[in-house]
Amino acid sequence: MGNSISAITPAGQAGGWQFCVAPMMDWTDTHCRVFHRLLAPHARLYTEMVHAHAVVRGDRERLLGFDVSEHPVALQLGGHEPAELAAAARIGVDHGYDEINLNVGCPSDRVQSGRFGACLMREPALVADCVAAMRAAVSVPVTVKCRIGVDDQDDYQDLHRFAEVQAGAGLGVLIVHARKAWLHGLSPKENREIPPLNHPRVYRLKQEFPLLTVVINGGIVAVDAVREQLRHVDGVMLGRAAYHDPFVLARIEHDLFGTPLPDRAGILHALRSHVETQLERGAGLHHIVRHVLGLYQGEPGARAFRRYLSEHMHARTADFRVVEAAVAALCEHMHPA
C-alpha cells in the first residue's frame, strides 16, 4: 500500500455513513478512490465488489491494495458461504479496511450463477448467517448493500422482513439501492435505470427500524437532493453521478461539512504524485486518469479537456504531461488567442 498523497489531503473521519460513494464494478478502483478522496475528504469510499473466494485464494495485494489517503474505505465482498466470507473479512481488515460490506444487490448473470449478489435477497436467513460470521471474525463494522426487492418481491413486507432478519444478526448499517432488481430479462445497466425508484419505501424502512443506520442509493445527483434525502435517512450514497460529474462530490462536501470548494486544476496537481508513483510501478496512464475525464463537466472547455486526454492517455510513453496538456487545451478553448 502506498502513501503518495496522504500528506496532501486529510483522510475522512471513520465511522459515519452520511456521505458515501458507491462501489461500482470496473470504476471504483484505487485510482478512482484516491481522486474522489481529494474531492471529498469526509466521504466514505467503497471498493469494487471482490468475491470472497478470490480474496482467500488469489493475489491479495493486487485485489486489496489501496492508498492510505483513501481512509475511511470499505471492502465490498461477494459470496454466500459464511466461513469463506469470514476468512475474507479477516484478510480485508488485516489489509487495513475500515468496513466490510456484503453485496446483496448486484443483478448480473455471473453473480446469480455464483449464488451471490441480488439473488440472496430471497435468502435472508443465509445472508444473516454470513453477517453473523463476519461480525464474529472482525472488529470493524460489517454492512450490507441490497435492493428494495428482486423480481416478484413487490411488497414492502419483503424488504421489512429482510431488514428484520439482518438486524437480528446484529447488522447495524443497511445500504439500500431504492430500485428493485430483475434477475432475468434486464442487463445490469438496465437494472440501474429501468426499475422505478422508490425512495419512500426506504424512508419507511428507516421509520420502522429507527436503530438501524439506513443509507439510501439511487438517482441522487445533486446537493439539494442529498439534503432532501438526509431529512428521511441517515446517509446518502452517490453512484454514477460521482463518476460522470465528480466535482459534485466537492459540492456536497462543501455543503455538508463546510470544506472550501477546491480548484479543479489544484485537484489535478494534488493527484500528480499518485500518478507518478503508479507510473513508476508499471501502471498505464489511462488506467489512472480515465477517472478524471468528467472533472470539468459543465464548465467551458470541458470537451477540449476530455478530447485531449482521451486521445493521448493511451500512448505507451504517456505521463503526467498529458494531463497538463489537457488542462492547457481547456484554457486555450476558454481564452482563444
Residue 117 near residue 78 (C-beta atoms within 8 A): yes
What's the angle, vertex CA 61, arms to CA 57 and CA 64, rounded to 5?
85
Cell of 140: 470493524
SS (H, E, C) 128-147: HHHHHHHHHHCCCCEEEEEE
3-state secondary structure of 104: strand
* Distance (Å, whole) CA 238 – CA 19: 8
Residue 323 near residue 278 (C-beta atoms within 8 A): no
Does 106 qualify as catalytic in the annotation? Answer: yes
| Active-site pick, 20, 32, 106, 130 | 106
DSSP 150: B
> CB atoms < 10 A from the CB of 334, how many?
11
* Distance (Å, whole) CA 37 – CA 151: 36
> CB atoms < 10 A from the CB of 314, how many?
14
Element housing 46 (H / E)? strand 44-46
**Which of 102, 25, 106, 36 minimizes the C-alpha distance to 72?**
36
Alpha helix locations (H) across the chain? 30-39, 52-57, 60-64, 82-94, 109-113, 124-137, 156-168, 188-191, 199-208, 223-229, 240-244, 247-257, 264-280, 285-289, 302-312, 320-334
Active site residues: 106
